[in-house]
Structure 1
Amino acid sequence: MKRNYDMKRGILAFLMVLGMLGLAACDADSIDTTRGELPDKEPLENTYVSVRSQFSPVERSVVYLMEGTGTTSDPMYCRLNRPAEKNLNIQTAPDESQVEIYNTKYGTDFLTMPAANIQIADDGQISIAAGERISEKIKVTFKADGLEAGKYLAPIVVSSDDVAMSDDGGILYYVVKVRKPEVGDYELDPVNTTVFYVNTSEYSPLLADVWVIAKEDLMNYGVPNVWERTYGNIVNLRVVQIGYDEATERAMLVLNSDIRYVLEHADLHIRPLQDKGRKVCLSIEGGNTGLGFCNLSDAQIADFVAQVKACLETYDLDGVNLFDRNAGYGDVEGMPAMNTTSYPKLIKALREAMPDKLLTLSDYEEPTEYFWDTEATGGIEVGKYLDYAWSGYMSEDEDVQILDPWGRIDQSEGEMNGMMFPVNNHLRKPIAGLEQSQYGAFAVPFYSATSSFNLNMIGLMNLWVWRMLGWSSNNILMFGDLITNIQGEYEGQWNNIISTTLMVYEPDGMDGMYGYGVYISHNSNGNVFDPNTATLYYGDYAKDW
């Protein structure tokens, strides 16, 4: 026993010697650690505060503004390195003087974001309750008033009589990128509502920004075109999926690396589309996990809707397109069966959470086939919560399909007038609460040059008869995933499919008086619109990241 006692006494003596040596070292090489006088220093010793954006783990964050009167907001919060011993009050404010210090330190040339263009909610006051480490988020709003295009720095500093600053000085540096709007030279088509899909695993969304349609007078050679317009009113970006987290049983919004890159570089890949009036949306589909829109619990719906809303707000997107395909219902052991109320509940929840966002639906196979039956949907009239719905049948393995939920197509009359059936292989019923004017009845895939559907043109010719007989109730034009000029079997199809569709779809497209040429407004090789030479080179707008 005495031996153990001596050991303990020896350890204690050793620790005391170390302490004395440490104090001696501090006296010999003093380091200024003063962080301000604190009223209650003892309980707050070694407690420091830092300030962060919700969307950045470090002391820098980036926001974007459009030159003119644009505004943008970002959630900001304070955090401690350990729980607060008491209630803490912290003040935040912009500090223009920090810009020169930052530029000198890092060799940058940021412009100074005027403090007058920055507004912090709650007069910049933030509180952290005793026992907590992280404050509530407050909104920082940036205004472009009076600013020219350029890169600005907006330092937000924190101060407090209650707590010391962290090693980074308690500053959050916002890089504010102000850009000129890219208006373009051509009007966005005011007559048709054209819907494009872009697969960001292959292409930049800028591929949707280059299409120029020229209505040409074929009877008067050499006269100016009747009009020139850009197309693509709604651009749906993919691949975005609904996934499943086994550990938490959450339905997850899954952004693959390509779509995430595009969103994080929205100023390059998305804003030029929006500048011209296009609506840029996320198209969400299944992820082959066995969980999809049709078998979610109420808790999963609420959680998933919150994720979608946060994503759209974070990246300033215009809406969401729901395309329930590839979910893998029934293929994954342990996943719930499909039901007829989950999907309608999701649609209703999305609309209620985002009343100002575009909400569209791809009508496709079993997931949407019962939307006409409000008894099956739990009393929800799905169409009342949608801006548009359209055909999800855009496969290269079948001809262009004309869906007829309202039963307007008369097969005998169509055959008598030149319509070549079958073109309606997918029987659908009207979505309850949706007007015919909101429903796109067909979608055109980009067929290969050698495809029989492209060579025979039965489906496309049927579009002409369908329009001529007055069975079309709107001007919604749907296309599958856009393609660039691809050497091989798809060569030339980037413009052939669209020009042929317009020829048979426009009221005067088949009378021999006018032609509809497809050109581009610009391309990555520097070409600008010229009806004689403009084209896409091989691989233009293929992803380069």
Structure 2
Amino acid sequence: MMKYNISFKRNLILAAVLTVMGMFTACDDSIDVTSVDENQYTTSTDAIGYLVNNAGRRGTSLVEFRNQGQAEIYLASSKNTETDVVANLKFDAEVLDAYNDENNSDYELFPVDLVSFESDFQLSKGSNKSGKTLVQFTTSDALSAEKTYVIPVRAVVKSGNIKLSEKESVYLIFVKDLSTIPTADKANGIKIISCMEVNDTNPLNNLCFTLKESGKPLIDIVILFSANINYNNETGKVYVYNNPNVQHILDNREKYLKPLQDRGMKIVLGILGNHDRAGVSNLADETAKVFAQELKVVCDSYHLDGIFVDDEYSAYQNPVPPGFVAPSSAAASRLCYEAKQAMPDRLVCAYAYGSTSSLPEIDGHQSGEFVDYGIHDYGRSSDLSSNYPGMPKSRMALYSQEFSRGYWASDSDLESMRNDGYGSHMIFAMDPYRNNFDRQKQAMESIASKLFDDELVYDEKPYKKDW
């Protein structure tokens, strides 16, 4: 279980934006093609077509690119087609207009002149999935690294016996052009997640550690641990509460967070219970939608890259109060789903602990579609495929380490993780000013060596907590 010092001073930072998001799901599209779940289509005798990305995910995807990028799109069918089918993709700005209207958002179009489509979809008679069509795009000086753009596409059947509904014939590719920003990505793709106990530690310490050969930062994702989900007794609403330490960092993001993002690191805000009735696993569906909207406001306001959901320190009540449900994995999964609905261009991470340790399907979408990273509790290493169905191994964080209490990963643990194809690893409470820093440094040296075949470089210029 994570260590966390709770502050009870109330500090409302935002008014909730009360809008309900539509039915799109975002995901990264950098993994291999998987099989398509057809269970939800069994009620029709027609061949119903729908668009999916290379992970078999519908609705939306997120692509971060430098200079040139691409998204793989497929036309799939609920049953084997009775004829050959030919269809194509076209750029359709009205798809984004409809999305923005429905979701009260203001995403901008990616310039159509920077987009090209590789080929038509071809489904041979008797098949249920086409070959890929590449949506390719390039950078431009007119694009901003701080904005998310959208390539909206629509499938049009040219010939063959297949039906496309309005919803399933469109796809939104959320695009971030990072051409002008350095990347923390290492050659083998493994991600190191640093969960920072910011009550004690300056997050800028993540800048201190690089790899000798590649020059890359050791850390890819920084979690600010932690903001809270709180209950307002006067309004009867849940809201995001930041203790003074978290709030100071957010209010001074140019000093504490932007330098990390400028090196290619992602900044994720932890969301944790705070000893009242509100928690990440007991929100009724409508309450979850509203809270997800407030999470979006927070991420928008402070230019954060996502959230980390952790089911700890809530005082769940029985009988269940209005607006809440009995704590369950289903309710926790609903919150993660609504958060991804509200923020398709940001990360949603879950701690594999308590109600968030295993998240069921929501509205026909497997949890691996809307949870980007599943992060194991300390020392645990089991495959999370059954916990978060649809999640690739690259997004499963194994053998997490806790630097303040001495939960360490061995060299053989790290080697096993890498050899078995798992692509994420979390360290908690790294702090150069703690008296066991030599052991912390040894652990990070092992990460550099065993996961990246490289050598850790520590610049010996740590950052004190200065607030």
Is TM > 0.5 for Structure 1 vs Structure 2? Answer: yes
State the partner residue of 1:268: 255
In structure 1, the residue corresponding to 2:382 is in which secondary structure? coil
Distance 2:244 2:371 in 1: 29
In structure 2, the residue corresponding to 1:294 is in which secondary structure? coil
In structure 2, the residue corresponding to 1:341 is in which secondary structure? helix
Change (3 A) 1:234 1:465: closer
State the partner residue of 1:123: none
1:364-379 alignment runs, 5 A limit: 364-365=353-354, 367-371=355-359, 373-374=360-361, 379=364
Change (3 A) 1:229 1:435: closer
Deviation of residue 405 (structure 1)?
A: 3.4
In structure 2, the residue corresponding to 1:299 is in which secondary structure? helix
State the partner residue of 1:75: none
In structure 2, the residue corresponding to 1:203 is in which secondary structure? coil
State the partner residue of 2:387: 430
Query: Does the alignment pair 1:358 with 2:347?
Result: yes
In structure 1, the residue corresponding to 2:272 is in which secondary structure? strand
State the partner residue of 2:381: 402
- The count of corresponding residues between Structure 1 and Structure 2 is 293
Query: Does the alignment pair 1:446 with 2:403?
Result: yes
Distance 1:197 1:369 in 2: 17
Change (3 A) 1:502 1:270: same
In structure 1, the residue corresponding to 2:259 is in which secondary structure? helix
| 1:387 counterpart (357, 372, 376) | 372
**Structure 1 residues 244-281: Cα deviation after superposition (integer angstroms, max 9, x where no partner):** 11222211111111111111111111111111111111
State the partner residue of 1:463: 413
Query: Does the alignment pair 1:305 with 2:298?
Result: no
Deviation of residue 337 (structure 1)?
A: 2.6
**Structure 1 residues 268-324: Cα deviation after superposition (integer angstroms, max 9, x where no partner):** 111111111111111111112132111112332122112111111111111111122
Deviation of residue 543 (structure 1)?
A: 1.8
In structure 1, the residue corresponding to 2:401 is in which secondary structure? coil
Distance 2:414 2:14 in 1: 50
State the partner residue of 1:239: 226
Percent identical pairs in the alignment equals 20
Deviation of residue 463 (structure 1)?
A: 0.9
In structure 1, the residue corresponding to 2:270 is in which secondary structure? strand
Amino acid at match of 1:258: N
Distance 2:311 2:187 in 1: 30
Change (3 A) 1:485 1:294: same
Distance 1:322 1:494 in 2: 25
1:85-164 alignment runs, 5 A limit: none
**Structure 1 residues 9-32: Cα deviation after superposition (integer angstroms, max 9, x where no partner):** xxxxxxxxxxxxxxxxxxxxxxxx
**Structure 1 residues 356-395: Cα deviation after superposition (integer angstroms, max 9, x where no partner):** 1122222113x03442x54xx665421111222221x13x
Matched-pair contact (CA < 8 Å) for 1:301–1:346? yes
**Structure 1 residues 118-144: Cα deviation after superposition (integer angstroms, max 9, x where no partner):** xxxxxxxxxxxxxxxxxxxx9xxxxxx
Matched-pair contact (CA < 8 Å) for 1:460–1:504? no
Matched-pair contact (CA < 8 Å) for 1:436–1:474? yes
RMSD: 3.4
Amino acid at match of 2:398: A
TM-score of the aligned structures, taking structure 2 as reference length: 0.56
| 1:519 counterpart (443, 458, 462) | 458
Distance 1:363 1:357 in 2: 19
Query: Does the alignment pair 1:479 with 2:464?
Result: no
Query: Does the alignment pair 1:248 with 2:241?
Result: no
| 1:316 counterpart (294, 303, 321) | 303
Deviation of residue 193 (structure 1)?
A: 1.1
Deviation of residue 345 (structure 1)?
A: 1.6
1:51-70 alignment runs, 5 A limit: none
Distance 1:55 1:353 in 2: 16
Amino acid at match of 1:189: K
**Structure 1 residues 434-482: Cα deviation after superposition (integer angstroms, max 9, x where no partner):** 222321222122156xx5x66xxxx5144155247x32x2331211122
Distance 1:494 1:265 in 2: 27
State the partner residue of 2:191: 193
Deviation of residue 327 (structure 1)?
A: 2.0
Change (3 A) 1:251 1:349: same
Query: Does the alignment pair 1:337 with 2:285?
Result: no
Name stretches of at least 5 consecutive residues in structure 2 with no aligned partner. 1-12, 16-105, 107-140, 143-179
Change (3 A) 1:332 1:289: farther
In structure 1, the residue corresponding to 2:195 is in which secondary structure? strand
Change (3 A) 1:464 1:278: closer
Amino acid at match of 1:519: Y
**Structure 1 residues 476-510: Cα deviation after superposition (integer angstroms, max 9, x where no partner):** 12111221133x4x14234122113333444x5xx
Change (3 A) 1:405 1:382: closer
Q: Give 1 or 2 for the bigger CA radius of gyration.
A: 1
State the partner residue of 1:492: 438
Matched-pair contact (CA < 8 Å) for 1:284–1:321? yes
Amino acid at match of 2:205: L
**Structure 1 residues 25-84: Cα deviation after superposition (integer angstroms, max 9, x where no partner):** xxxxxxxxxxxxxxxxxxxxxxxxxxxxx999xxxxxxxxxxxxxxxxxxxxxxxxxxxx
Distance 1:357 1:233 in 2: 15
Matched-pair contact (CA < 8 Å) for 1:241–1:286? yes
Change (3 A) 1:388 1:292: same
Distance 1:390 1:431 in 2: 11
Distance 2:320 2:341 in 1: 33
